[in-house]
Structures are given as C-alpha cells and as structure tokens.
C-alpha cells in the first residue's frame, strides 16, 4: 500500500509540474534545442543564443514574457540561424 501511495505522489508531481506557466524560450537550455543538419554543440548553441539575445537587446532573458513579441523575435532569430526547439522543431505555431 505504501508503494502505491508513493507512486501516486510521484506521478502527480510530474503531471502538475507540466501544468504551470511555460518558461520563455530565451531561458531554455541547449538540451531543448538542436541545430539542423548537425544536431549542434553546446558551444555553438551558447554562441547563437548570445548573438540573438544581443541582437534583440534582451539583457534579462528571464524577464521575457512567454508568447510575447520579444520571445517570438528570439525564436525567429534562432530558427534563421538553423536552431530549432525539440518541442516544435522549426514550426512553432503562432
């Protein structure tokens, strides 16, 4: 009985963890992205992420609103450089 309760609690934590607000793409780590054709490297991702953040004048990636205009411009910048999210590939719905 104790095992079932523990299992239920673990499953509930994972289910409800995905129900909160999404973090902006500007904060997603390299494991959430891939580079078309090569898969990409950590260094390559960090370089491109920094280039896009700088080009857009984003000083605080955590302050960017998910689904907001800054996030959308950041995503377009990353996609244009060949970087796609593992969630939506290079076809995130508007």
String of DSSP letters for 24-52 = PGGG--GGGEEETTTB--HHHHHHHHHHH
pLDDT of residue 75: 97
In the predicted model, what is the mean pLDDT of the chain? Answer: 86
**Can you give the residue range of the structural domain that contains 40?**
2-85
Check residue 89 and give left, alpha or beta (phi > 0: left; psi -120 to 50: alpha): left
CA atoms 65, 47, 52, 33: torsion sign:
negative
Q: Judge whether residue 61 has pLDDT over 80.
A: yes
Total domains present in the chain: 1
pLDDT of residue 14: 41
With respect to residue 20, please indicate whether it lies within any of the assigned structural domains.
yes
Is the full-model pTM beyond 0.85? Answer: no
Q: Judge whether residue 88 has pLDDT over 60.
A: yes
Confidence band for 21, pLDDT divided at 50, 70 and 90: confident
With respect to residue 91, please indicate whether it lies within any of the assigned structural domains.
no
With respect to residue 93, please indicate whether it lies within any of the assigned structural domains.
no
With respect to residue 92, please indicate whether it lies within any of the assigned structural domains.
no
With respect to residue 14, please indicate whether it lies within any of the assigned structural domains.
yes
Q: What percent of the chain shows pLDDT beyond 90?
A: 72
Section 56-64 average pLDDT:
98
């Amino acid at each position: 009985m104790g095992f079932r309760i523990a299992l239920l609690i673990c499953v509930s934590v994972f289910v409800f963890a995905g129900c909160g607000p999404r973090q902006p793409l500007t904060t997603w780590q390299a494991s959430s992205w891939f580079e078309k054709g090569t898969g990409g490297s950590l260094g390559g991702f960090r370089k491109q992420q920094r280039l896009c953040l700088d080009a857009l004048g984003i000083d605080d990636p955590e302050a960017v609103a998910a689904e907001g205009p800054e996030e959308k411009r950041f995503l377009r910048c990353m996609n244009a450089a060949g970087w796609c999210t593992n969630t939506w590939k290079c076809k995130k719905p508007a």
